[in-house]
Amino acid sequence: MSETHPAPPAFEARGFGGGAPDNGAAPDLSARAAALDAADDLAELRARFTLPEGLVYLDGNSLGALPATVAATTADVVTRQWGEQLIRSWSDGTWWTAPERIGDRIAPLIGAAPGQTVVGDSTSVNLFKALVGAARLAAPGRTKLLVDAATFPTDGYIAASAARMTGLTLVPVDIPADIPADPADAAGVFGPDTAVVLLNHVDYRTGRLHDLPALTAAARAAGAVIIWDLCHSAGALPVDLDAHGVDLAVGCTYKYLNGGPGSPAFLYIAARHQRDFDSPLPGWNGHAEPFAMTPGYTPAEGAVRGRVGTPDILSMLALEAALDAWDGVTVESVRAKSLALTDFFLECVAAYVPAGVVEPVTPAPHAERGSQVSLRTENASAVMGELIARGVVGDFRAPDVLRFGFTPLYVRFTDVERAARTLGHIFG
């Protein structure tokens, strides 16, 4: 998201930064970056994207780059499918089945079997469906809706509204770094009165990766229904929703999935919940017989009941074309490169940026790191503005955080080295 948000809570401060800019490490780091790119099995994937020459783009955690196939596909949708076939594209073409068809293309990237993921609407709308649907799935008598205290603001807004509508009490909680080995011992987080839990897989400010397997197990052991927001992890790292027994999940497609600005989000409904999932938005597109136009609502079978109104076909089919960039690519290989890129960036920043000028707020352990690095510094807004002016695009979060997102499908190690070197020049 590109909005400016309220000041984040205090981060764990760790001194960071090494020698002066362009110190003796510079030639070695530059040469190493070139060597890492030469050995990178994913390097050829960059050609699947359209990127401005000379630009270092490290803001894929807000808006992914343009996949090369999207422009031609969008032109065909507009000129032929809409312009020539007109309404026949609903019945004779690929429009009607797009939400579940594209959902099944996303499914392997989030560890889901087919038939559980549907694409459409925004993340916020899908989150509302999931929250109210989860409250209706929860055991009777439970009273609390737990939400990560550091959640993305919109998630908090939607959760508060859903709590009011369903009679639950919204409770912000601090997610611990360590979950007990026995999920039943996690009473300090989830209790017998917990109905629904909403968590972000990766914290949008800090890049902290939450322990999805352990937290899911703990929530389910407590009898709660758990929802994961995957906006900052889908397409960046393995999620494995089915393997870990996640109940519901939502996520956007314009970040690491590169679907384009405002591209439709996805909703995951585990197969075991689909029969009982009661959407608070029972639109005609989710009806068992959408063209019967009956006065009563009967939900469709499966995840299709997560559909609401007429799909946004232009954005939907642009997203479908964008997913071609994933052909032959595994999420595991992307995760391996992501960790290598972020490790190398931290190393380069330590070499190029004067000591004490920046502090990392992204956890160092791989198990706790998403695919971004956040650095805390004074005058962060002005620093990011200067970086962008020099051809290195990241973003800023108030009051003092520089965010850099690493999309392994197109980010190179030479990009990483240049970004850190440019940051060092600014502080030099």
Q: Which of 256, 229, 234, 274 is nearest to 108 (CA)?
A: 234
Q: pLDDT band at 23, cuts 50/70/90? A: very low
User: Rg for the chain (alpha carbons), in Å?
Assistant: 22
Per-chain mean pLDDT for the chain: 92
- pLDDT value, residue 175: 84
Q: How far is CA 309 from CA 107, 142, 299, 315, 369, in A?
A: 22, 32, 13, 14, 37
Token pair belonging to 101: 């068809």
Residue 83 has pLDDT above 90, yes or no: yes
pLDDT the model gives residue 85: 96
Neighbours of 38 (CB within 10 A): 9
| pLDDT in the model for residue 8 | 26
- What pLDDT digit, counting tens, does each position of 169-209 carry? 999 999 876 665 454 455 467 899 999 999 999 999 999 99
pLDDT at 133 over 50: yes
pLDDT at 217 over 50: yes
Is a pLDDT exceeding 50 seen at residue 385? yes
Are 188 and 215 in contact, with CB atoms under 8 Å apart?
no
Q: Which residues contact 348 (CB under 8 A, 6 or more apart)?
A: 29, 416, 417, 419, 420, 421
pLDDT of residue 13: 28
At 182 the pLDDT is 52
Per-residue model confidence as pLDDT tens digits over 375-384: 999 999 999 9
Q: Got the DSSP string for 61-96? A: TTSPPEETTHHHHHHHIIIIIITTTTTHHHHTSSST
Residue 5 has pLDDT above 70, yes or no: no
pLDDT > 90: what percent of the chain? Answer: 89
Q: Which 3 state secondary structure label does DSSP give 39?
A: helix
Which of 400 and 21 is assigned the larger pLDDT?
Answer: 400
Q: What is the spatial distance between Cα 147 and Cα 172, in angstroms, rounded to a whole number?
A: 5
Q: What pLDDT sits at residue 93?
A: 86
| Interval 96-121: pLDDT, tens | 999 999 999 999 999 999 999 999 99
Q: What is the DSSP string of 192-240?
A: TTEEEEEEESB-TTT-BBP-HHHHHHHHHHTT-EEEEE-TTTTTTS---
- Cβ atoms of 238 and 405 within 8 Å: the answer is no
Q: What is the mean pLDDT of residues 404-419?
A: 98
Alpha-carbon distance of 193 to 357, in angstroms, equals 46
Instruction: Write the DSSP symbol of residue 145.
Output: E
Q: How confident is the model at residue 67 (pLDDT cuts 50, 70, 90)?
A: very high
Query: Nearest to residue 207, comparing CAs of 345, 33, 45, 414?
Result: 345
pLDDT, residue 177, reads: 65
The Cα 406–Cα 175 span in angstroms is 24
pLDDT tens per residue, range 224-269: 999 999 999 999 999 999 999 999 999 999 999 999 999 999 999 9
pLDDT digits (tens, 9 = 90+) for 136-164: 999 999 999 999 999 999 999 999 999 99
Where b means 16+ CB within 10 Å and e means fewer, 71-82 reads: eebbeebeeebb
Domains and CATH numbers, the chain: 25-42+330-427 (3.90.1150.10), 72-326 (3.40.640.10)
Catalytic residues, by residue number, are 152, 229, 254-255, 403
pLDDT at residue number 19:
38
* Residue whose C-alpha is closest to residue 392's, from 365, 368, 362, 419: 419
| pLDDT class of 1 with cuts at 50, 70, 90 | very low
